[in-house]
Amino acid sequence: MSISINEIKKYLLRNDIKPSFPRLKVFEYLASHPTHPTVDDIYQSLVKEIPTLSKTTVYNTLDLFIRANIVRVVTIDGNELRYDVDITNHGHFKCEQCHTIYEFDIDTDVLSPSSLDGFDIREKNVYFKGTCPRCLAKPKSVSS
Ligand SMILES: [Zn+2]
Ligand SMILES: [Zn+2]
C-alpha cells in the first residue's frame, strides 16, 4: 500500500483523529511496511527521523488507531504484538522457522458458528502456524 502523507492526513481526519506529525509518521510506516511490525520496529525506524519521539507516543498512537478501527493487532506471536493497517478480512500464517508472517485471503464472514448466535462479534482472527515453502525447501541445518 503506497499512500501519501496528504492522503493519510485526510484518512485520519475522516476517522476523527487529529493528524499530528508522529501520528502521520506511524501510520505511514505501517502502510509502507505491510510486514506486521512490532512497536519496537516502528519506534527504531522513526526515532531516526523524529529524535523527540518516545516509545510511549508510538504505543499511544497505535492504541488510538486501534480504537478508531483503522489498525488491528495481530497476536500470532504470543509474546509480541504486531500491527496491521490492513483491516480487511484476511488470515495470518506464521512460519515457525523464519518467523515471517504471511497473509492469506479468507472469507471470515462464513465463519459464523451457530453457538455464537446473539453475540456481538467485533473481530475474527484466523491464525495458522507451520513452515513456509521457502523454509521447507531449505536443507535442514545441523547447528540450529
Ligand atoms: Zn495482516
Ligand atoms: Zn519460513
Q: Which CATH number fits domain 5-75: 1.10.246.90, 1.10.10.10, 1.10.1510.10, 3.40.50.300?
A: 1.10.10.10
Give the number of the ligand closest to the Cα of residue 73.
1
Distance from residue 142's CA to the centre of ligand 1 (Å): 32
> Domain residues of the chain, as ranges?
5-75, 88-110+121-144
Walk along the chain (144 residues) and give the pLDDT tens digit of each residue.
Answer: 568 999 999 999 999 999 999 999 999 999 999 889 999 999 999 999 999 999 999 999 999 999 999 999 998 877 789 999 988 889 999 999 998 999 999 988 888 889 999 999 888 889 999 999 999 998 876 655
- The pTM for the full model equals 0.82
Distance in Å, CA 123 to ligand 1 centroid: 13
Q: Which residues contact 75 (CB under 8 A, 6 or more apart)?
A: 81, 82, 125, 127
Ligand number nearest CA of 94 is 2
Q: Which long-range contacts (CB under 8 A, 24 or more apart) does 77-84 make?
A: 80/38, 81/38, 81/39, 82/36, 82/37, 82/38, 83/30, 83/36, 83/37, 83/38, 83/39, 83/42, 84/30, 84/34, 84/36
For strands 82-84 and 101-104, give the pairing. Answer: unpaired
Distance 138 CA to ligand 2 centre (A): 9
All 3 cell numbers of residue 31?
A: 502502510
Domain 88-110+121-144 listed as CATH 3.30.1490.190: yes
Ligand nearest to the CA of 102: 1
Query: Which residues have CB atoms below 5 A from the ion given as ligand 1?
Result: 84, 86, 103
The alpha carbon of 90 and the centre of ligand 2 are apart by a number of angstroms equal to: 19
Residue 92 β-bridge partners: 103, 127
Cα(12) to centroid of ligand 1, in Å? 20
Closest of 58, 14, 17 to residue 40, by C-alpha: 58
> CA-CA distance, 52 to 67, in Å (whole number)?
25
Tell me how far apart the alpha carbons of residues 14 and 35 are, in angstroms, rounded to a whole number. Answer: 25
Q: Which pLDDT belongs to residue 143?
A: 57
